[in-house]
Each structure stands twice: as C-alpha cells, then as structure tokens.
Structure 1
Amino acid sequence: MSVEAAASVPSPATKQKKPQKGLNRIWHTFWNEKYLWLMALPGILFFLIYKYLPMLGIIIAFKDYNLMLGIWDSKWAGLKHFYRIFENPDIGRIFVNTLIISFYQIVFAFTIPIVLAIMIYEVSKNAYRRVLQTVFYMPHFLSWVVVAGIFYLIFRSDGAMNSVLADLGLGQINILSNPENFRIMLVLQVIWKEAGWGTIIYLAALSSIDPALFEAAKMDGASRLRQIWHITLPGIRSTIVVLFILRLGSVLDVGFEQVFLMLNPSVREVGEVIETYVYQVGVVNSNFSFSTAVGLMKGLIGLVLIFGANKLAKRMGERGVF
C-alpha cells in the first residue's frame, strides 16, 4: 500500500460514531438522564393523573350529561350549554365580581410580595432576615378553613374586635356581612396568608444580582432608594414579568375555598364568583354539563390571556414564558 493510500485510511482514533437517529437517539438520551427522569417521575404522574386525564371530562360540556347513562352514552348537545352562559342573567354579575376581586388581588396581592422581598433583602444581618422570612412564611401553611375561622372569631358581631371597640366606647363595625367591605376583606386575607410565601422566588432572583453593582452605586453617592430603583428592580424585572404572565392565566381563579367559606347571604350579591357558581350549579343542582361549559370557558379565557401577555412581553424586550 502506498503512502498516500495509507494516509487516506482513517485510524480508529479518528473514526467518529454515526449520529443516532429517531427512537435510538431518544432512548440513548433517556438512559443517560435516567436518574433525572426518576426524580421527575412523581411530578409527571401528578400532572398526568390529576391534570391531564380529567380533561377527558370536557366532553360533558357538549352533551346533556346523564349520570345513569355515563359520558359516552349521553345525548349530544353541541354548543347548547355555551349559549346558556350568555343567556343566563346571573353570569354577567358573577363575571364582574370575579374580575373585580381578581383585579384587587393583582394590584395588591401580587405587588406586595415584591415590596416585601426587597425589604427583607435590605436587612443586613442574616439572622434577622431568616427570622423575618420564617414569620412571613408561616401563614401560608394554614388552611383556608383556619384562616376563615380566625377572621370569624375576630370580626363577628361579638368577636374580639367589636369587644375592644365596645370597651373603648366606640361603635361596632360590620365586616363579615357588609357588602362594601367583603371584597377588601378577601384581598387582605390573601395578602396576610400568601405574601410571605410569594417572596421566595423574588428573594432567589435578588440573590443573583451582582453585589459589585451596589458597591459602585454607593461610591457614586446613590441613596438606598436610588439603588433599589436602578439596580434591584431592573435585576428582578424578568422574574416579575414571568410571574405576572402566569398570574394572568388564572385571572378568573380567585380561590374557591376562601370565597366559599366567607360567603353568606348578605354579601352574595358582590361576593359570588365563577368558582362558587360552578359548584352551586354543577354539584348542588347536578347540572354538570352547564357547569363544565362555564369552567371550560374560564380556562379558554385564561389561555388567551397567557398567550397575549407573553407576546406583549416579548415585544417589550422580555423573555416571556415560552
């Protein structure tokens, strides 16, 4: 063999493996990452069992569902129940109630965790910071039943608040059955219970900001407020945008358990929301097809809002969710 021919033959060291294709490549990747998939398995099973499989029941919205016949043998109804949504006189009031409460939650319950996270981050001593975080996190682990019970004990007509006011010679206040105060009370409950827990992601984002930026700002004479405005807030802006987009997806979800526990006949006119209405119509009155149609409509609105907000965020230069 000539020298040229020998040089043209690739040595074993220079031989490259042929790229794997199709199922072989997928299986090879899966096997190399098997431990990661094993760790993710409980979460995957949770979403499959409790989120995706129940979506098969959406077909009930397009049928006159009969419990005795089952889903597949029930009579097909088409868009009949969706037409009923717009013909129902109560839907408009319930939809407005839901939007108002959700708007209050976005304005206050969404923004307060940001402010709270910045305040905790500004605490210089780590010991004090950990104590504050623990105190603010604790209400999150209370169920809404406990929270509702606490509010009833404090604000009912013969509760602790009115007893103190009576001892001071002041008049009683009516919060639980006053329609003007009901929505504000719901938002205050959400803030008290979830504001501390909502700071976790923001604190993680704050910890990724380069401390050298703050040192440089101090040398330039910037005050703490200037540093927060020009360094801290821009540093977590992308996180705020992503969480805001995800929050818009659940703009019509204001918390069934909370509203259901606090609702009473005196405030039903301003406090009944889509979730409690679906429960009343679907579970109590056994009108499963109509309640499923209402729930599906609510989910579609949330989906449209997520896509719209994500597209708007990308146009503004942010990364978005997808």
Structure 2
Amino acid sequence: MNNLPKKVKIVEVGPRDGLQNEKEPVSAAAKIELVDRLSRAGFANIEAAAFVSPKWVPQMASSSEVMAGITRRPGTIYSALVPNLQGFESALASKADEVVIFGAASEAFSQKNINCSIAESIARFEPVARAAKDHGLRLRGSISTAFGCPYQGEVPLDAVADVVRRMRDLGCDEIDIADTIGVATPRKTQEVMLRAAREFPLESLSGHFHDTYGQALANIYASLEVGVAIFHSSVSGLGGCPYAKGATGNVATEDVLYMMNGLGIETGVDLDQVVDAGLFISQQLGRKGVSRAGNAIAAKRAG
C-alpha cells in the first residue's frame, strides 16, 4: 500500500470520448453545461472537444461553439483531439490548452480505423506536433489497442513500445496507453506499462481503460502499483469505441474517484459534484448512467 502514488491526475474524457458515439445529437448548450460542471468539480484536465470531420463524427461538429461557450477554470487544461493540421488550426482558434494526437499499437486496427499503417499515421502528425510546439501548446499522444485488438488479437509489447518511442520523438508531453476494447487484466496491464516506461517517463504515462470485461478498476489499481499516476475516465461511464464490436464505455469517473478516496489518494476532484454532472448528462441522454458508485450515491441521497 505504501508505494502507491499519493496523488493522481484524473483526465475527464466524457465531453469528447464519452459523447462522440452518441447517436442522438447532444446540444452545444448541454455540452457546455457538462464541461462547466466538471470544471467546478475540480478536474485538472478535461477533454472537451475534437476538431474532426463532422461527416465522420457528427457529434463533435459543435466543438468550436463548445470551446467558445465554456467558463474556463484557472489551472484546468482543456484538451482537443486533432487528426491533422486543419484540425489543429481550429483547436488553436478555439484556445485549446492541449492538442491530442492518436495512433494505434495494432497494425490491423490502424488500417481498419484510419486506412494507413502505424508509421504513416504517426508521420501525418509531424506537422501538427511542430505547430503545437511553435504555439506553446501541450501535446498529448494517445495509443489505442495497446492491450489487445479486435482484428489481430494479441498486441506485442514491442509494438506498444515502438509507438511510444515514435510519440516521444514527436515531442509529446504525455502519452496515453489505452485499452480500447477493455480486454486487459492486471498483470498484463503492469507488463505493458513497465515496457512503455522504458521509452518514456513513467510519471507522464497515463492509463485509459475501458470496462468491457469489468477489469478497468483492477487495471487502474495494478497501474498504481507500478507508479502510474494519470488516468482517464468518463463521467457516468459514457462512451465506447465504434471500431470495437461490443466495447462498452470508458471506466466511470465516479467509480475511479470512489476508489481513490478509499485509498487516501488525492485527486483534487469533488466526487459529489461529479455525481451531479453524471445525473445531468444522463438526463440529457434520457437514460440511466452506468457508474456503480454514481448510482449508489444518487440512490442513497434519494433515501
């Protein structure tokens, strides 16, 4: 227990990764309200937007409006996902604090997802990375399918390390190791994280776990044990992956916070306010959230 980090950073990805696959449109006003509620809850980093083609991700078409409408909390990093230089220009115009670029650890996933090889996908981000540095923005790299792929199955540790190295060489400040389809288990999680840490500082690696097989919290705990102290989660467990059949949402923020609070690990985030934000967005979507802790706390309040 003593060797767990005393403090962790939770990156709230609900407004972007969580909402991007919703079939019914979510209004810009609702997204702004969600981001503002999350800001007030105390997150150090909120993934608020994606400047991608509205043809491919219609839910993110209102990203400029959202970024213009939010009330920015001093000290919070507002991130935007960008696929290319055009997306970067939009992120810059919207005053994003951090741009997020992405690649896959699985060659098969890269081909199916973005129709090019891993090497090609990373090369496409070179001008984006340069532009981010020129403008003094933080640059985050996200590596999907780092623990398993829906098309090729196992993903070798060396394949993950290779993409970590490429992201590092682009100048990334932080690198996310993502379990896109939620297949990881604790020991595998530790192997992948420790292998990635041979290429990039452990304190700047983050864990992004999906809960498809119910292993996300166990994998976060396993990551804590080897010193990882940045995690992604999504309010109310929003989100999934359109390219991964049957993949459920990101791990729910409320569940992660409940666990961190129980471990005495500082997050700087108010769990009760996050529960409120989860209830708000679930109401907007017309369905109950999937956070176990969130639902339990809400039920207890209702008495």
Please give the range of the TM-score, normalised by the shorter of the 2 chains. under 0.3
TM-score, normalization by structure 2:
0.25
TM-score, normalization by structure 1:
0.24
Higher RCO (C-alpha 8 Å, min separation 6): 1
Higher helix share: 1
